[in-house]
Each structure stands twice: as structure tokens, then as C-alpha cells.
Structure 1
């Protein structure tokens, strides 16, 4: 049984108030009181020339995220990779008859999953969102799928080149789209529950504080979230984005990206 008090916080803010937020986040706490789970998705913004799908990215992330929220709570004995495979298959089935799911830009998302019990903490990370794990002694470990970050910039020169050569391809990077077999590409593992004091899951709109602006390391980031809350992290990212008017650090990326932070403290 869960003992003591658990602190959970979730903040999700669109990068542009005029556009729907493409992120999805949830925290599930089963009625049994045993364990729980978190789900974090970052929908991939589609190109202007279409995706072969009549549905929006928020439509996709809502359905994939909803399926994962249900499955991670309901099937606690099934590995997270298998649950991701089932959720992708279920979501694909919801629009396979109306959409071209073979299109390289069919709606897709990054994925972070964590599920805890009194004995263990399981995790899954696919693509460039992050899961931070704090141990009782204060050590912070970033669990990352860094395949996209390791690609040479020349491989990412244009959307067309990315789609043709590295998106959901061997030697490139992977996201959850319409192929359930992508689940085996995720970074997964299990930690003893006694070795985890807190978790923080962040989409790349929030990891900018570390990865783009260099305001601190992962331990500093988690400390900020714990002490001042997820909203403070997002607010600081927004201030840094506005201050980079000459795009010295932002480069060709969006000025503001959807930013989501999920924090769980045991």
C-alpha cells in the first residue's frame, strides 16, 4: 500500500495561445492505493503540406495518451513497452480506414512513461522528452533517448531530408506513430522503489532551460521544480525565449514551444 503523503504536480502550457497544445500529460493513482503511473507525450508539429491524416496532432495525443493512462493503471503486470505497443495499435485502429498511416508525418509523439509500485519504478522514454529521477541522497539521473541529439546537423537540414532518411528509421530516431513495433525501440528499465525519491517528466519545451539555454544541469532543474513548482520552470523558459530576440540560442527552432512538466514526489 502507498504510505505517507505523495506530492504530484502537473503544468502544461501551449507555446502559442492561438494554437492547440499538442502535449498530453496524466498522473494515475489506482483506487487500490498501490502505486501509480505518469504519462507524458509531446506531439510532433505537422508540416504545412500535410500528414496524410484528417486528424490533428492533439486528436492523436489525446487518444494515445488516454489509452496509455488506462493501460498503465489497469495492467500493472504488463511491461511498459508492451503497453505502448497496444496503445499505438489501438490508436492506429481508430483512423486506419480514413487516413494514410504510412505517411512519414502521420500524427506522432514522443513518449515518457513511469509506473511505480511499493517495490519498483519502471520507466520508458522514446525520443526527446526527458525523465529525471532523484534518489534519496539527492543524486539526479536523466533518463534520455538521445538518438535525435546524436544525429549530425546535416541530417536535420530540412524536413524533407529528415522524413526521408532518419525519422522512424534505423540509424535515425523513433517516435510513437502508427507502427506498434516502435515500442521495442524505447529506452526502458526498472529501479528499486527505495532508490527513488522523486520523478520529473518534461517535454522538450521545458527541457530548454537545461538543453537550450544552459541555465543549470538536470539536478538544478529538478531542484527548481521541487522548490518552486513546475510553473516556475515554464515561466523561466518563457522569459529566456523572449530575451533571445536575436535567436542566438534558439536558432531555427520555435520561439515558444509547448511546455509540460509532471512532478511526482514520494
Structure 2
């Protein structure tokens, strides 16, 4: 197995709120991939004394450990357990009922000799490449369905956050794990996997430089950092692309590419 990871902050003056990890079990017969994109709050009033990077590191560490050690749990069960563990670690010091309590998007992939399992929650993306080069994008498109005019209002967006008819992120409620997009693919049908936070997925989704198969091709030929460098160049070249759905010139961007 070959794995490459790269991550760049959207602003060098602010901490990177993305988080990524891979793990190879001692048996060497499989692996785990975890990518989180922390949700930046509009203000410091989120009812929590911990910053978003603390949350993504805490949740990401729990997800990595549980995904690798608890093969008896589905990835949805892993996510629920990791959210519960993280919530318990700061429930006495923080108001976890706050709508903007630290939260994140989630991508999980886990594979062994027989299958590749996946889980996606919110707007990061997982790419599965087949031996013949076809690429399937696993996405949770519920945030895409929110009208742009609603996204411009924090209050309106908050009414849809982790709510029926809205969109879902990993925050403090383990029940959100049941809302994730999950599935299983035969291991023989997958030769590579890639996970991208939305800052890295801009190459295809925002700038339209190619389809997902082209994106995997860039990862294979130029590496994860090569893809992120391309995104940064595109962002500087066209600061207006994306309209109201583009919140900032640069976003935290993370890419993980694994050849199985």
C-alpha cells in the first residue's frame, strides 16, 4: 500500500482546521483513512472553550483508533462512538447544545482483503478508483441543496444545521452518524482511494479543471501536494469564481491518496 497526504491552511495566520490520518493494522492486510474538515464558526461564542482544531484532532484520533481496532463495528457505529467519546471529554466544561459547538465534516474509508467500506458526512468527498480507471465519487450533497441566499445568512443556515430537511455534520450528538452516506465495495473493484476536503475538491467542483478521474490522475502523477498547489494557483487566478458559495479566497485544503 502507498499513501500520500498533504494539507495547507487557508490563511497562514490562522490554524488549519482540517485533520487527516491513515493507519495500517499490524496484520498488514488492510488500512484506514480518516479526513475531517472543521467547521469555522462565525464568532467565538460557540459555548465551548476549545478551538476547532482541538475538536478535529480529538474526533480524528478517536475515529482512527476505533476504525482500526474495532473491525466488529460498522463505520457508522465507529463515528457514533467517536462522537460520544469526544463529547464526553469536554461536556463538563462546555455547552455542547450550542448550535455552533465545534463540528466537522467526515470521510472514513476502511479496507481489508475482501471489501472497502466508506462513510461520508457533509461536503468533503471520497473517490474510489476501479482497476480500469473509472472513478466513483461518494458525496453527501445535502449542503449543495441549500439555496445560496440561505447560505449567506448565518441564522438561516443554523436553522438547517443538523436538522431534518437540512444538512448534517459531526458535532456532539452521536445520532448524526445514522445520517452519513455509507456503503461497501468489493476490494477487487478498488485500486485506489482518495479523500478531499472541500478546499482541495475546488479543483473539480469550483474551477472545473477536470472530472474526478482527472483529479485522481493528478494525485497519481503529481501527488497530493501537487493537487493543492494547482488549487492555490487557480484561486489566485480567479478570485471571483464560485460566487456566494465561495466564502473565502483560500480555504484549508487537504488531500489523501492511497493506492491499495
TM band (smaller chain)? over 0.9
Retained in 1: the 8 A contact 2:37–2:197? yes
Asked whether 1:108 is paired with 2:103, we answer: yes
Q: CA deviation at 1:228?
A: 1.0
Describe how 1:206-245 pairs up with structure 2 within 5 A.
206-245=200-239
**Cα deviation digits, residues 106-164 of structure 1 (max 9, x gap):** 0000000000000000000000000000001111000000000122223323111101x
In 1: Cα distance, 2:249 partner to 2:135 partner: 28
Aligned to 1:188: 182
1:9 to 4, 17, 36: 4
CA RMSD of aligned residues (A): 1.0
Contact 1:131/1:142 (8 A) holds in 2: yes
Matched with 2:257 is: 263
| 8 Å contact kept, 2:207–2:241 | no
SS in 2 for 1:229: helix
The answer on 1:92 being equivalent to 2:113 is: no
Q: Look up the SS of the partner of 1:178 in the other structure.
A: coil
- Per the alignment, residue 201 of structure 1 pairs with 195
2:51 maps to what in 1? 56
Q: Distance in 2 between matches of 1:46 and 1:228?
A: 33
**d(CA) in 2 for partners of 1:50 and 1:149?**
26
**Secondary structure of the residue that 1:94 maps to in structure 2?**
helix
Deviation at 1:248, TM superposition (A): 3.8
Quote the residue 2:145 is aligned against: 150
Q: Which portions of structure 1, spanning 4 or more consecutive aligned residues, are displaced by more than 3 angstroms?
A: 248-252
TM-score w.r.t. length of structure 2: 0.97
Kept in 1: contact 2:24–2:30 (CA 8 A): yes
Deviation track 1:54-110 (CA, whole Å, cap 9, x = no partner) reads 100000000000000100000112100001000000000011111110111000000
Measure, in 1, the Cα distance between the counterparts of 2:85 and 2:243: 36
CA separation of 1:195 and 1:248: change in aligned 2, threshold 3 A? closer
Q: Work out whether 1:177 is the aligned partner of 2:181.
A: no
Structure 2 residue corresponding to 1:160, chosen from 150, 155, 159 = 155
Q: Cα deviations across residues 205-230 of structure 1 (Å, max 9, x unaligned)?
A: 00001111111111111111111111
Distance 1:157 1:8 in 2: 37
- How far 1:47 moved relative to its partner? 1.3
- Name the SS for the 2:67 alignment partner: helix
In 1, the alpha carbon distance for the partners of 2:166 and 2:150 equals 9
Match of 1:3 in 2: none
Q: Is the partner of 1:174 in helix, strand or coil?
A: coil
Query: What residue is the counterpart of 1:45 in the other structure?
Result: 40
Structure 1 residues 58 and 188: alpha-carbon distance in aligned structure 2, compared to 1, 3 A threshold: same
